[in-house]
Structure 1
Amino acid sequence: MTPVSSNAPRGQSSLRTVQVLGGGNAGSSAHVRSLAEGLVARGVRVTVCAPAEADHAYDFRGTGADHVSVPRSSDPAAVGRLRAVCADADLVHAHGLHASFRAALA
């Protein structure tokens, strides 16, 4: 994990986490929304990678997190998009078996 930078604005961490959802079922989506809300409140930059439908239903952006639409697919384009989003993350947290598999591929 990258150490916290002294260049971060006062009270804000330079840490960045990516939360990866598979299909975004109700339990995992609600959990990720709760995590995003708490992490953002603590100054952590959060990106949620989930299908667009999950963001529409759970409003990850409403927590202050970024949302990147990544379909529930293991095709090369989806994995490549996930890889690009995760490239500079300090922590990647995958929620569910399919999300874990895709995050490992990425």
Structure 2
Amino acid sequence: MTQLRTVQVLGGGSAGSSAHVRSLASGLVARGVRVTVCAPAELDRLYDYSGAGAHVVPLPRRNDPATVGVLRNACIGADVVHAHGLHASVRAALAVSGGVGLARTPLVTTWHGRPPADGARAGIVRLLERRTVRAAAVVLGTSSELVD
């Protein structure tokens, strides 16, 4: 039997989602799953994903064009990709949708909050949400308000 591998993706890394990923990484590694955490480098210093046994791939906080390529490479061979937050989910969806060896990689997305948006920005947020939902095999929300 081959060892399962998951990639956890963080965007800006709020305290809640960062701690959640630390907990997931620790629990998954303890169960024999290989875990890769893709997150801004400063989050590993704060939450010590590598100390939990995860391999860490540093990502810029914002939308650097190279980010999707870095994510795509990190996700090759993963059994599941789990993105935390809307921005991380959009980037992960782009990464798993276009790479060789990634076409069947399921995407799980967890929304830990909803970005505040008014006017034109609200329309863009809704568009990104729809794009993420269509790409994901599973969408989770951390509150009933988000699920609704």
- TM-score normalized by the length of structure 1: 0.86
Match for residue 9 of structure 2 among 17, 20, 28? 20
Cα-Cα RMSD: 0.9
Q: C-alpha displacement at 1:76, in angstroms? A: 2.5
Bigger-Rg structure (1/2):
2
Deviant stretches of 4+, over 6 Å: none
Matched, 1:46 2:27: no
Which runs of no fewer than 5 residues in structure 1 stay unpaired?
6-13
Percent of aligned positions that are identical? 74
SS in 2 for 1:23: coil
Mapping of residues 87-102 of structure 1, within 5 Å: 87-102=76-91
Matched, 1:65 2:93: no
Which residue number corresponds to residue 93 of structure 2?
A: 104
Whichever residue aligns with residue 71 of structure 1, its letter is: P
Greater relative contact order (CA < 8 Å, ≥ 6 in sequence): 1
* Matched positions, count: 95
Which runs of no fewer than 5 residues in structure 2 stay unpaired?
96-148
